[in-house]
């Protein structure tokens, strides 16, 4: 292993911050700092920064809007990449084909599509995150998922090679995709033209359903566990009598049992302990092992 005797990012200081507080970039607002926090302004800068990480054997992580990430209290001893600069937030619409950069906010993109009379991603209403993160997790819910409208995805692997996945090569499943490349750069979506007023009505209905059934105004990271096939993780947690259960500042939501809320003073350790406890008690009650939907670093 090569040990850096000096700054491994010489010449890239404008886009690299050291020991940067990650709690400011996650919905939980908890967790320690990143050893390196990198915000490339172009694909070329991203490639060079990744090359340096490879050279010095620095672990790499990708952070979108931090909506489904739990950062440990001790932080991340590696490089956290954030693709939020203009080069990664471009949107281009050509009739019913939409090209969106990985850093585009899904809620802002949804609103633009609705106003443009383009249907297909209303299922994203109320789901925070970027297009890159949404693709990685195949974001969606009972109303559909983003993978159903994706026609191509441009990615970059850990070696810096940029290439495309075509529609025939893509596989989207429940909260997963077959995209293995480390970095998602952009995606092309094939949408359908529809009356903007009807689209807005449908989108509002979905948003109201989410608002009425999920604790959207609290500090959480969305659903903690994936739904087992044919079952509801939230219902299993509720049946185990776990709503309102607390560990330190972390609490199982009384509104939706598959959400863990971080109250003031909560630590990542509190959340992790509560997740472990919920999984154990659900198994004791139903003999079902819940699988994480939240991404726990490292």
Number of domains into which the chain is organized: 3
211: left (phi over 0), alpha (psi -120 to 50) or beta: alpha
Asked if residue 15 has pLDDT above 70, the reply is yes
State the alpha helices, DSSP H only, in 175-267.
Answer: 196-213, 233-239
Q: What is the pLDDT of residues 55-75, one digit of tens each?
A: 999 999 999 999 999 999 999
Sign of the alpha-carbon dihedral angle for 61, 44, 40, 55: positive
pTM for the predicted model, two decimal places: 0.95
Both 146 and 168 in one domain: the answer is yes
Q: Across residues 265-282, what is the average pLDDT?
A: 98
Domain assignment of residue 184, given as a range: 89-213
**226 in any annotated domain:** no
Both 172 and 191 in one domain: the answer is yes
Distance CA 293, CA 273 (A): 16
The beta-strand segments (E) located in the chain are: 16-21, 33-38, 60-63, 69-70, 76-82, 91-94, 97-101, 118-119, 140-141, 144-145, 150-156, 162-166, 172-173, 176-177, 183-190, 192-193, 246-247, 250-252, 260-262, 295-296
Both 111 and 96 in one domain: the answer is yes
Both 163 and 237 in one domain: the answer is no
**Helix, strand or coil, per DSSP, at residue 22:** coil
Report the pLDDT value the prediction gives residue 101, as an integer from 0 to 100. Answer: 98
CATH number at residue 205: 3.30.465.10
Both 95 and 52 in one domain: the answer is no
Distance CA 44, CA 48 (A): 6
């Amino acid at each position: 292993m090569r040990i850096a005797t000096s700054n491994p990012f010489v010449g890239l200081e404008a886009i690299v911050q050291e020991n940067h507080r990650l709690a400011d970039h996650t919905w939980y607002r908890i967790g320690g700092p990143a050893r390196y926090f990198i915000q490339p302004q172009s694909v070329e800068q991203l490639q060079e920064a990744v090359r340096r990480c490879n050279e010095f054997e620095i672990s790499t992580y990708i952070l979108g809007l931090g909506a489904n990430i739990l950062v440990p209290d001790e932080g991340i001893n590696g490089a956290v990449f954030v693709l939020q600069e203009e080069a990664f937030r471009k949107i281009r619409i050509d009739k019913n084909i939409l090209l969106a950069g990985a850093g585009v906010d899904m809620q802002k993109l949804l609103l633009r599509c609705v106003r443009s009379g383009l249907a297909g991603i209303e299922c994203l209403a109320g789901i925070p995150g970027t297009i890159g993160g949404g693709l990685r997790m195949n974001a969606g819910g009972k109303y559909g998922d983003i993978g159903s409208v994706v026609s191509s995805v441009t990615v970059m692997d850990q070696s810096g090679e940029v290439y495309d996945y075509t529609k025939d090569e893509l596989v989207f499943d429940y909260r997963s995709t077959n995209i293995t490349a480390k970095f998602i750069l952009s995606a092309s979506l094939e949408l359908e033209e529809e009356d903007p007023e009807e689209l807005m009505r449908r989108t509002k209905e979905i948003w109201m359903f989410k608002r009425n059934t999920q604790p959207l105004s609290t500090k959480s990271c969305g659903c903690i566990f994936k739904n087992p096939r044919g079952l509801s993780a939230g219902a299993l947690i509720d049946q185990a009598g776990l709503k309102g259960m607390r560990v330190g500042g972390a609490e199982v939501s009384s509104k939706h049992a598959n959400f863990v809320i971080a109250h003031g003073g909560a630590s990542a350790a509190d959340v992790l302990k509560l997740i472990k406890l919920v999984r154990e008690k659900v198994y004791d009650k139903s003999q079902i092992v819940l699988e994480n939907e939240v991404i726990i670093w490292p």
